Homo-oligomer: A and B are copies of this chain.
Amino acid sequence: MYRTHSCGELRLQHKGQQVTLAGWVQRIRNFGGMTFIDLRDRYGITQLTVNDESPAAVRETAAALGREFVLQVTGAVVERSNKNPKIATGDIEIATAAIAVLNPADTPPFTIEDDSDGGEELRARFRYLDLRRAPLQQAIRLRHRMAQEVRSYLDSQQFLEIETPFLIKSTPEGARDFVVPSRMNPGEFYALPQSPQTFKQLLMVAGYDRYFQIVRCFRDEDLRADRQPEFTQIDCEMAFVEREDILQTFEGLAKHLFKSVLGMEWTTAFPRMSYADAINYYGSDKPDIRFDMRISDLTDAVKGKNFAVFDSAPYIGGICVPACADYTRKQLDELTEWVKRPQIGAKGMVYIRRTTDGIKSSIDKFYTPDHLAAIADQCRASQGDLILLLSGDKKKTQEMLGALRIEMGNRLGLRPNNVFAPLWVYDFPLLEWDDETQRFYAMHHPFTSPKPEDLPKFYAADRHAIAQVNANAYDFVLNGVEIGGGSIRIHDSNVQRRMFEVLGFSEEEANYKFGFIINAFRYGAPPHGGIAFGFDRWCALFGGQETIRDYIAFPKNNTGRDVMLDAPSKIDEVQMKELYLKSAL
């Protein structure tokens, strides 16, 4: 061992001890006869001193040190005259008796500090240096802790961690697969799993009852912001359970993580909300309920007052923004521009101010103060509040109001990253009708069970009735981010057959795509259901961050490249030949 202690370990109680530390030079401060060196490792920083009384060799070595040199240092623990309460080792320093340079270092291309001076691209290229920075070390440590606690909780609940294969079969449904040419099976390809969905269902058929895995998944999508081509899921499945059992079990997991990772005790049940309510009140299937500001449906209240915009709109809704009645005209114009941006797409915005001077609005021409007061009341507006109204197609307008609500939440500081609001959302639609291809698509996947009470509709001939069928599905939402989703699966072969029929698959198609699982279900499938959590994102949220990139040791950029490795890259002709492939470029 190159050290007796870590750089985060020494305290006053070690005073007088001879110790050996090893680590990286964080900082060197030279005050004439006195040099302070901050030595850093994963555990902390310890100050080393070199002065006129230090051995000549030490003084000589110290004079030639640079940032990020790797040192092994021996010396006595000394009480500091000038203590630093900001760091755990701030009471002591090491009177350096010997220094060995274990490795010198070139000057790093950016500073290894909490706020580095390096740009994103540069830091990505030198990821191994960026990973030295404290915020990233904290992120990686948090992720480790999360993973261990997930496993310890699920193990305690008799879940078995079972590894499923990465070289599997490509299925043409859903997102694009990454594929892997097989040299031993010419002309054939494996696919990398988008999730272990079918395997976990097969494990239920195989009787494993409670399965989990923290597992890498792959999706060859055009990368939207903050998506990665490979990502990690906490993947879980249970047999002989109903929805309530799953919600209870994984609410237990979430509470365990809150407590063991963040030290937050959760004594009440997590709130639950139907998909319909989420859309109606929050304009989103993943409401951020850290703040209220719910959407009010004002359609009935505002119609018939000769305001053409509202009279012609199928839907009018509003949110009440607390204590913003004093917004200036300029602020309101800016907000109007904000909702009119293509990303939101509103045609315009109406406001109502409820002030001590009475009620004012941009539609005073059409509505009497009494009318406006009634609208404000319906929005539960108090004096000093501002009401913002949007109108148009119902679903789109609700989404716009949802986006405006989040924006106002941000502006008013109602979304602090150290406050957590978990939420279960349930009763999602089972199917989505696509006008272009004139067929239904599964909202989740074709094994999601319809709600038992909706089975009559599911077997109806009328597609509008079928469209109303709800799925026995649920999402786990945290601070407006969907971090988990799952469902009770179909285990009845008649229901499954009907599902394929509704999706427009012939029996041959269904067999080609899902043959092995349809077969498996013929040999005694238990009732089962499960859930999968986005592990990268859950870690980021617990770390108080929006972006997942810092919570992945070696992430890829927006074009799916690892700029540190310079991957992907060309392979040589021999390799192409062995795989029976030619470039079509």
Of the candidates B184, B218, B523, B562, which one forms a contact with A68 in the assembled complex, judged by CB atoms under 8 Å apart?
B523
Of the candidates B188, B520, B570, which one forms a contact with A569 in the assembled complex, judged by CB atoms under 8 Å apart?
B188
Q: Are B553 and A203 in contact (CB under 8 A)?
A: yes
What DSSP secondary structure best describes chain A's contact surface?
loop
Q: A167 on the interface (CB 8 Å rule)?
A: yes
Report how many copies the assembly holds: 2
- Assuming the contacts A148-B161, A560-B185, asked whether A491 and B180 have C-beta atoms less than 8 A apart, the reply is no
Of the candidates B102, B137, B554, which one forms a contact with A491 in the assembled complex, judged by CB atoms under 8 Å apart?
B102
Q: Are B579 and A585 in contact (CB under 8 A)?
A: no
Q: Are A566 and B163 in contact (CB under 8 A)?
A: no
Q: Are B562 and A169 in contact (CB under 8 A)?
A: yes
- Assuming the contacts A162-B144, A568-B185, asked whether A562 and B167 have C-beta atoms less than 8 A apart, the reply is yes
Distance in Å: Cβ of A145 to nearest Cβ of chain B: 9
CA distance A524 to B571 in the complex (A): 31
Identify 14 new A-B residue pairs, CB closer than 8 A, beyond the known A43-B209, A168-B567: A1-B241, A22-B240, A72-B240, A102-B491, A103-B525, A128-B203, A132-B207, A137-B208, A165-B562, A170-B575, A176-B183, A176-B578, A180-B568, A186-B585
Q: How large is the interface on A (under 10, 10 to 19, 20 to 34, 35 or more residues)?
A: 35 or more
Q: A3 on the interface (CB 8 Å rule)?
A: yes
Distance in Å: Cβ of A296 to nearest Cβ of chain B: 40
Distance in Å: Cβ of A233 to nearest Cβ of chain B: 12
CA distance A24 to B119 in the complex (A): 59
Which residues in B have their C-beta under 8 angstroms from that of A337?
none
Q: Which of A131, A206, A242 has the most CB of B within 10 A?
A: A206
CA distance A152 to B572 in the complex (A): 43
Q: Are B524 and A69 in contact (CB under 8 A)?
A: yes
Which residues in B have their C-beta under 8 angstroms from that of A561?
185
CA distance A244 to B143 in the complex (A): 30
CA distance A337 to B559 in the complex (A): 62
28 residue pairs bridging A and B, Cβ less than 8 Å apart: A22-B240, A70-B525, A70-B526, A103-B525, A105-B524, A126-B523, A128-B523, A129-B206, A131-B208, A144-B155, A164-B553, A165-B554, A166-B192, A166-B218, A166-B230, A169-B569, A170-B567, A176-B575, A177-B575, A179-B180, A180-B180, A184-B220, A188-B569, A188-B570, A189-B568, A199-B554, A203-B553, A581-B582
